[in-house]
Amino acid sequence: MPLFGRKSDGEKKERGKDSDIRKKYDLKETLGTGAFSEVLLAEDKIQPGKFVAVKCIDRMGIVGKEESLTNEIEVLRRLNHPNIVQLTDVFEDKNYVYLVMELVTGGELFDRIMEKGSYTERDASYLMKQVLEGVDFMHEKGIVHRDLKPENLLYYSSSADSKIMISDFGLSKIEDSGTMATACGTPGYVAPEVLAQQPYGKEVDCWSIGVIAYILLCGYPPFYDENDAALFQQILRAEFEFDSPYWDDISESAKEFIRNLMCKDPKKRFTCKQAIAFPWISGNTALDKNIHASVSAQMQKNFIKSKWKRAYNATAVIRQMRKLAMHKEDKKLQE
């Protein structure tokens, strides 16, 4: 039985045309692996030179969790925004479901910041503006991400002026699909109302954006404890500090921006639109002072590299694409 239920005649015809993913895409090297999935680099056979990322999900691994995958696909189909990783195709056979995604090759947010020679408040403000615009679009479509964190913010390409992309919608929820009360997300980025097991809404994403903005300006998280219970108590109290000397050179406008996003009361918390309109984002209050040395040192200290391969491993993508280009060049020479 198809994962996505019964189809109309038009949809059946469309599915029948492309029922085998290998007819449309040349599946290549592995870019990353997960518990029940593998992400492959793939080249479009109709448009040679156009590459995508294909997430291959093992049906056996999601038995009993089909609804979660169906929800993720429904969420992604609603989202078409320049700062959101795009789902372009879905295929399925008896063993796998294949999600064809826009290929993102620029790497993770923190990695790029640490590699920079210069980094300012204004740079952080521009990054947050892109994230806010993407999440605002999501909220307009009635979708709550529920797991916004730096690892899910990726650069589209390796170019210096690359845009930022929001990824990983596995925990996202469509608001009109029912009350949200499930405790989910990543410790350190989750909002107080989630930990308090209260019904919640899109405000939880705005809290997470506040946490990310805090880290972007000092390199360490606003809440930290190796014991999760102690960490959750800190978050439930919503008490955080702008410690000296790390915050001494940061503008009061930036601090006020964070306070409004990391407000304990979700009713008083900034929405994405309010955050975008705030002077630190839309005005000229973000400072140009280079804070790279302090921020990158703290990031290296506080955010240790994961041992697991990332779903979007930029180095692997670039290496494989270069190899393919060299192979094609060799074939031309031989001809």
pLDDT at residue 216 in the model: 96
pLDDT at residue 182 in the model: 58
- Do residues 57 and 99 make contact, with C-beta atoms less than 8 angstroms apart? yes
Q: Which of 105-109, 132-136, 158-162 has the highest mean pLDDT?
A: 132-136
pLDDT at residue 44 in the model: 94
Model confidence at 333, in pLDDT bands (50, 70, 90)? low
Average confidence (pLDDT) over 285-303: 93
pLDDT at residue 293 in the model: 94
The pLDDT tens digits for 18-53 are 468 999 999 999 888 877 888 999 999 999 999 999
Helix 203-218 vs helix 252-261: angle between axes, to the nearest 10 degrees? 150
- The type of residue at 298 is Q
Average confidence (pLDDT) over 301-325: 51
Output phi, psi for 259, to 5 deg.
Answer: -60, -40
Q: Which of 123, 136, 147, 205 is catalytic?
A: 147
The pLDDT tens digits for 237-270 are 998 999 999 999 999 999 999 999 999 999 999 9
Q: Residue 47 burial by CB count (10 A; 0-12/13-18/19+): exposed, middle or buried? A: exposed
- At 189 the three-state DSSP class reads coil
Q: Which positions ≥6 away from 284 have C-beta within 8 Å?
A: none
Distance separating alpha carbons of residues 97 and 56, to the nearest angstrom: 6
> Which of 22, 62, 26, 70 lies closest to 44, judged by CA?
26
Domains recognised in the chain with CATH numbers: 9-105+314-334 (3.30.200.20), 109-302 (1.10.510.10)
pLDDT at residue 328 in the model: 55
Distance separating alpha carbons of residues 97 and 38, to the nearest angstrom: 11
The pLDDT tens digits for 61-102 are 888 878 778 888 888 888 899 999 999 999 998 889 999 999
Q: Which of 59-73, 139-153, 186-200, 254-268 has the highest mean pLDDT?
A: 254-268
Q: Is the dihedral of CA 209, 214, 216, 220 positive or negative?
A: negative
Both tokens assigned to 93: 């056979």
Q: Name the DSSP class of 177.
A: G
Distance separating alpha carbons of residues 50 and 217, to the nearest angstrom: 36
Q: Is the pTM of this model over 0.75?
A: yes
Residue 147 falls in the annotated catalytic set: yes
